[in-house]
């Protein structure tokens, strides 16, 4: 560990139910208590219970739409289970194998041998699942009981072995033969920690791909690696980004990929705004032309919002919702926030408007189409995507606002007349506040 990274002390409670990570940083001493994994469901076989608890952590702190139950595939005269769980978000997927120690632990040497045995088996199973999905798409059911067709070649895959074990010997580093995809082993405590720390399925998946490229670590010490990487992120110099890609008024925003403080630890409603918008999209009826595949893409794009930005983003949205209501009767006010990924492939636009009706929805569509066209024109990318989410206040019912969602992908189909009209409508005043 270099001088820029915090010095860390790892302490276990006598009963092993909690560990404490003490970090000495330039800002002082930081203490992070990491509780034991979620309890197994009662009256359930331990092996099955470990699978259910692993699913529950990802669905509760992440999003149930991204976690899929195992499905079956025909193989010769038999059937193969495709992972104990599968996690899908964006273009990345995890094959999750859960292994549970159901007998009393023996000597450290015997436990390490058992761990290596089940880890090797689990990794081979994950490799077989990817191979099967590459041969034929499977129908998989997610945590909201919705079915999606999952094709192997549509995702970049990683294998995750989650181990439920009452006493992993200290300094146990599992070993397995390479399987041709990124692979990593975690305890259930590690898995729960990552989802509780980040509260975003996309952020956890991206972290696991990153961690899988690091040297193999000791089981049960994933929080140590997490904070080492978070410290490196905090010290890293921001990349230089061309803010002109979003047009006049664009500015660069940088924050560590991995926050040191738990996401939403301040307990504010502002941080929950992203989850609320995700739930709005997840629970709304699909339009007649929509599919569950479309919904999954929308959710994945919104969940790409960086964890470090979510509280500030939520604070702005709450302010915007209040501001658009402060207008004269019959008037309409708009507020927008935009964010463009550094590579220009993904643009996120959230907006608020005084009311929701046919006119404002068409105006919102024109805004999203115009901003998508402008960014595509500046970057030269033909496969870029723009997701727009519009919140409009409600004055009746149990909901405080309505949520409208629109996604555009690929080349712009606006003609010259439409461009002229839309620019006249939206580019008359200084550009809305933007972020890159």
pLDDT in tens, the chain (436 residues): 344 455 667 666 655 667 888 877 555 677 888 888 999 998 899 999 999 999 999 999 999 999 999 988 776 656 778 889 999 999 999 999 999 999 999 999 999 999 999 999 999 999 999 999 999 999 999 999 999 999 999 999 999 999 999 999 989 999 999 999 999 999 999 999 999 999 999 999 999 999 999 999 999 999 989 988 998 888 888 888 888 788 777 878 788 889 988 888 777 889 999 999 999 999 999 988 899 999 999 999 999 999 999 999 999 999 999 999 999 988 999 999 999 998 889 999 999 999 999 999 999 999 999 999 999 999 999 899 999 999 999 877 778 899 999 999 999 889 999 999 999 999 976 545 444 3
Share above pLDDT 70 across residues of the chain, in percent, rounded to a whole number: 92
Q: What per-residue confidence (pLDDT) applies to 342?
A: 86
According to DSSP, the β-strands at 334-340 and 434-435 are parallel
According to DSSP, the β-strands at 18-25 and 28-35 are antiparallel
State how far the Cα of 426 lies from the Cα of 323, in Å rounded to an integer.
Answer: 19
Lookup: tokens for 363: 């105006």
Task: Using alpha carbons, select from 357, 384, 273 the residue that is nearest to residue 318.
Answer: 273
Helices (H) and strands (E) counted in the chain, each on its own, are: 10, 17
Q: What per-residue confidence (pLDDT) applies to 27?
A: 54
**Residues 6+ positions from 417 with CB-CB distance below 8 Å:** none
State how far the Cα of 398 lies from the Cα of 253, in Å rounded to an integer.
Answer: 35
According to DSSP, the β-strands at 385-393 and 346-353 are parallel
Lookup: tokens for 316: 């702005």
What architecture (CATH level 2) is domain 36-235? 3-Layer(aba) Sandwich (3.40)
Asked whether the beta carbons of 362 and 418 are under 8 A apart, the reply is no
State how far the Cα of 360 lies from the Cα of 353, in Å rounded to an integer.
Answer: 8
State how far the Cα of 232 lies from the Cα of 235, in Å rounded to an integer.
Answer: 5
Task: Using alpha carbons, select from 93, 91, 67, 49 the residue that is nearest to residue 195.
Answer: 67
Q: What per-residue confidence (pLDDT) applies to 26?
A: 56
Q: Is the pTM of this model over 0.85?
A: yes
Lookup: tokens for 157: 């895959």
3-state secondary structure of 365: helix
State how far the Cα of 56 lies from the Cα of 164, in Å rounded to an integer.
Answer: 14
The ranges of the chain annotated as CATH 3.40.91 are 36-235
Q: What per-residue confidence (pLDDT) applies to 283?
A: 95
Q: What per-residue confidence (pLDDT) applies to 1?
A: 39
Rg (CA), the chain: 24
Residues 184, 38, 295, 270, CA torsion sign? negative
State how far the Cα of 139 lies from the Cα of 271, in Å rounded to an integer.
Answer: 34
Instruction: Specify the DSSP class assigned to residue 38.
Output: P
- H helix runs in 249-385, sequence order: 269-283, 292-303, 310-323, 358-379
Asked whether the beta carbons of 202 and 304 are under 8 A apart, the reply is yes
Q: What per-residue confidence (pLDDT) applies to 410?
A: 94
State how far the Cα of 66 lies from the Cα of 86, in Å rounded to an integer.
Answer: 8
Q: What per-residue confidence (pLDDT) applies to 13?
A: 63
According to DSSP, the β-strands at 18-25 and 7-12 are antiparallel
Burial tier of 349 (Cβ tally within 10 Å: 0-12, 13-18, 19+)? buried
State how far the Cα of 204 lies from the Cα of 209, in Å rounded to an integer.
Answer: 9
Instruction: Specify the DSSP class assigned to residue 142.
Output: B
**Residues 6+ positions from 151 with CB-CB distance below 8 Å:** 133, 134, 137
Q: What per-residue confidence (pLDDT) applies to 431?
A: 47
Q: Is 416 left (phi over 0), alpha (psi -120 to 50) or beta?
A: alpha
């Amino acid at each position: 560990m270099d001088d820029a990274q915090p010095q860390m002390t790892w302490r276990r409670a006598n009963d092993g139910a909690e560990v404490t990570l003490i970090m000495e940083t330039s800002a002082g001493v930081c203490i992070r208590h990491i509780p034991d994994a979620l309890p197994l469901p009662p009256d359930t076989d331990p092996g099955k219970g470990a699978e259910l608890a692993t699913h529950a952590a990802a669905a509760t702190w992440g999003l149930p739409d991204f976690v899929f139950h195992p499905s079956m595939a025909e193989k010769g005269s038999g059937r193969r289970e495709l992972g104990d769980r599968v996690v899908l978000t964006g273009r990345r997927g995890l094959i999750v194998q859960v292994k549970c120690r159901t007998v009393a632990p023996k000597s450290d040497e015997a436990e390490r041998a058992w761990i290596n045995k089940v880890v090797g088996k689990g990794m081979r199973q994950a490799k077989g699942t990817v191979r099967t999905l590459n041969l034929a798409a499977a129908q998989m059911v997610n945590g909201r009981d919705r079915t999606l067709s999952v094709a192997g070649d549509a995702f970049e895959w990683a294998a995750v072995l989650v181990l439920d074990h009452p006493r992993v010997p200290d300094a146990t580093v599992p070993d397995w033969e390479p399987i041709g995809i990124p692979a990593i082993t975690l305890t259930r405590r590690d898995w729960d920690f990552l989802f509780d720390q980040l509260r975003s399925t996309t952020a956890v998946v991206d972290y696991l791909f990153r961690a899988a490229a690091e040297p193999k670590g000791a089981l049960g010490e994933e929080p140590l690696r997490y904070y080492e990487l978070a410290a490196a992120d905090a010290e890293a110099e921001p990349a230089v980004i061309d803010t002109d890609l979003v047009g006049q008024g664009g500015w660069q925003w940088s924050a560590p990929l991995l926050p040191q403080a738990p996401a939403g630890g301040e307990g504010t409603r502002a941080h929950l705004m992203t989850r609320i918008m995700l739930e709005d999209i997840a629970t709304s009826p699909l339009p007649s032309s929509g599919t569950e595949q479309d919904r999954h893409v929308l959710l994945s794009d919104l969940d790409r919002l960086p964890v470090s930005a979510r509280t500030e983003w939520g604070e702005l949205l709450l302010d915007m919702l209040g501001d658009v209501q402060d207008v004269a009767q019959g008037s309409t006010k708009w507020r927008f926030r935009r964010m463009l990924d550094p590579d220009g492939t993904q643009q996120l636009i959230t907006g608020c408007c005084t009311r929701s009706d046919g006119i404002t929805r068409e105006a919102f569509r024109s805004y999203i189409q115009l901003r998508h066209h402008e960014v595509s024109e500046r970057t030269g990318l033909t496969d870029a995507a723009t997701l727009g989410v519009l919140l409009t206040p409600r004055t009746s019912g149990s909901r405080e606002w309505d949520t409208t969602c629109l996604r555009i992908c690929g080349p712009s189909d606006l003609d010259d007349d439409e461009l002229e009209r839309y620019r006249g409508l939206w580019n008359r005043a200084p550009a809305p506040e933007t972020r890159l």
